[in-house]
Structures are given as C-alpha cells and as structure tokens.
Amino acid sequence: MAAAPLRLAPSILGADFARLGEEVRALDEAGADWIHLDVMDGHFVPNISFGPDVVKALRPLTTKTFDVHLMIAPADAYLAAFAAAGADVITVHAEAGPHLHRSLQAIRALGKRAGVALNPGTPAAVVEPVLDLVDVVLVMSVNPGFGGQAFIPSVCETIRRVGAMAAGRPIAIEVDGGITVETAPEAVRAGASVLVAGSAALKGGAACYAANIAALRGAAEAASGAWA
Ligand code: DX5
Ligand code: ZN
C-alpha cells in the first residue's frame, strides 16, 4: 500500500503569543503543511492556552489547514465555536467524555474533519468502534498539557495498532509530542504520517523556522522509505 503523504504540523503553543499572527504567517512561509492549535482548559489538562476567538483571529492569516487539538472536557459545547472560527480538523480526546461517538458525529455534522486523540496510557482499541467517523487519529507521544517534553517510545506500538485497524481507510495517523529529528523517524516507521512539532519546529525563532521544518521533513522522509 502506498504510504500516506507526510505532513508537518508545527504547534503554535511554542510561539511568541505577543506576536501570534506574525508567527502563524512565518510558519506558513517556512513550509508548514498544517498549523496545529493546542487548546487547553486547565481541567482536562493542567494548563490553559487559548480558545476559539484566538483561532478566529488567526484564520485570515493563512490558508493552511487549521488542525485544532482540543484538550478540553467537556468538548461538545465548544465544537460549533471552533468550527465557526475556521478549524479544518477538530480533534477531541477519547478520554475527555463518555460520548466520543456523539462528539465525532457533531464534528462531521459541522462539516469538519474529525479527529480522535489518544493519551499515552489509552489503548488503540478505543478508536475501533468509531473508525467510520474519523479522519485523523492523533496519538499523543507525551502526556498532554505542555510543550518540550520527551517522546514516549511505547506509543509507537499504539501507532502500529491504529495503523492496522485503519488499513484501507482514508484516515491520517498523527503523532504529537516530543517530535524531533531524532524521534520523527521512529514515529514514521510505526506508521504516523502527520507530525506535530512544537519545540523542534519553533526553536531559535522565526529566522530558524524554515530550516527546522526542512530538517524534520528530511528526517521523516528518509524514514518513510522503510514503510511496509
Ligand atoms: C502537548 C501538545 C503538543 C505540543 C507539542 O500537550 O498537544 O501539540 O505543543 O510540543 P513539543 O513538540 O514541544 O512536544
Ligand atoms: Zn497538540
């Protein structure tokens, strides 16, 4: 089977929040495929980031896919606001509520691509009953809440299991957390095709974004040849 196209999704969590619009423009020009937007509520995860008004304010600045990662519970009450704000992919955590199927139905009903995120401690099997409603499975390779954490290698087994379950379906497997030029190859060999990178993409400031993204892409592409 042909490998899914690789996509680099820099996370703006590591950006200069005082200059967020310029940061998004810089990431676009530096070669980001998707822009990853980490929404945190201080409840589902122990940190607070930003909400739909910030997504809306950034939307006119780029035509790149807005990949909105909701680390919030409950999520359902906010899905319409993120859709209206211009999200393209809306991802909810499987652990964030008792009604994952309903959340995914709601995202699809809003005309958006639906994603399910799995924490490192969550088994891959959780996504199996909802695969018909899923466009993206986001496998967390750190415990969500903060950028700059170390990649947890055991999640590669989760990526492999999700890949086996999703085989033949138009589902992208995304990996998020601790992705660097060292860890990206491992995640890609396991089957990830969308790589979120916060620290590794944004280190050094805007002047470095293009080189950072190119390095990550090169490391991922070199490993994608190893796909079965
Ligand atoms: C963590 C977020 C990630 C984070 C990644 O909770 O979901 O998207 O920004 O940052 P790094 O790449 O630094 O681990
Ligand atoms: Zn994220």
Q: How far apart are CA 178 and CA 140, in angstroms?
A: 9
Q: Which domain holds residue 107?
A: 7-224
Whether residue 97 is contained in a domain is answered as yes
**Mean per-residue pLDDT for 191-209?**
98
Q: Which two tokens stand for residue 198?
A: 């916060």
What pLDDT score does 228 carry? 43
Please report whether residue 2 resides in a domain: no
Q: Where are the alpha helices (DSSP H) in the chain?
A: 20-29, 52-58, 79-85, 100-109, 155-166, 184-190, 199-202, 209-224
Which pLDDT belongs to residue 225?
77
pLDDT tens digits, residue range 153-192?
Answer: 999 999 999 999 999 999 999 999 999 999 999 999 999 9
- pLDDT number for residue 2: 54
CATH code: domain of residue 28: 3.20.20.70
For 59-96, how does the pLDDT look when each residue is reduced to its tens digit (9 = 90+)?
999 999 999 999 999 999 999 999 999 999 999 999 99
Give the total number of structural domains in the chain: 1
Distance from Cα 105 to the centre of ligand 1, integer Å: 26
Q: Is residue 64 part of a domain?
A: yes
Q: Is 142 in contact with 178 (CB distance < 8 Å)?
A: yes
Q: What is the pLDDT of residue 226?
A: 57
pLDDT (tens digit per residue) in 103-125? 999 999 999 999 999 999 999 99
Ligand 1 pocket mutation, candidates 37, 41, 146, criterion most atoms within 8 A of CB: 146
Lowest mean pLDDT across 4-8, 81-85, 197-201: 4-8
Residues 6+ away with beta carbon under 8 Å from 131? 165, 166, 169, 171
Provide CB contacts within 8 A for 178, sequence distance 6+: 141, 142, 149, 150, 151, 152
**Assigned domain for 1 exists:** no
- The protein residue with its alpha carbon nearest to ligand 1, atom 12, reads 198
Q: Residue written as tokens 């680099």?
A: 8
Token pair for residue 51? 């909400």
- Judge whether 189 lies within some domain: yes
Burial of 169 (0-12, 13-18, 19+ CB in 10 A): exposed
Query: Active-site positions?
Result: 38, 176
Question: Is the whole-model pTM more than 0.75?
Answer: yes
Report how far apart, in Å, the C-alpha atoms of 68 and of each of 85, 123, 154 are: 10, 22, 25
Q: How many CB atoms lie within 10 A of CB 203?
A: 15
Average pLDDT, the chain: 97
DSSP symbols for 93-125? EGGG-S-HHHHHHHHHHTT-EEEEEE-TTS-GG
pLDDT on residue 4: 83
- What would the pLDDT profile of 13-31 be if each residue is shown by its tens digit? 999 999 999 999 999 999 9
Q: How many CB atoms lie within 10 A of CB 56?
A: 15
In DSSP terms, which residues pair with 38 in a beta bridge? 69
Q: Is 11 in the pocket of ligand 1 (CB under 6 A)?
A: yes
Provide the pLDDT confidence category of residue 1 given band limits of 50, 70 and 90.
very low
Q: How many CB atoms lie within 10 A of CB 218?
A: 12
**pLDDT (average), residues 136-147:** 98
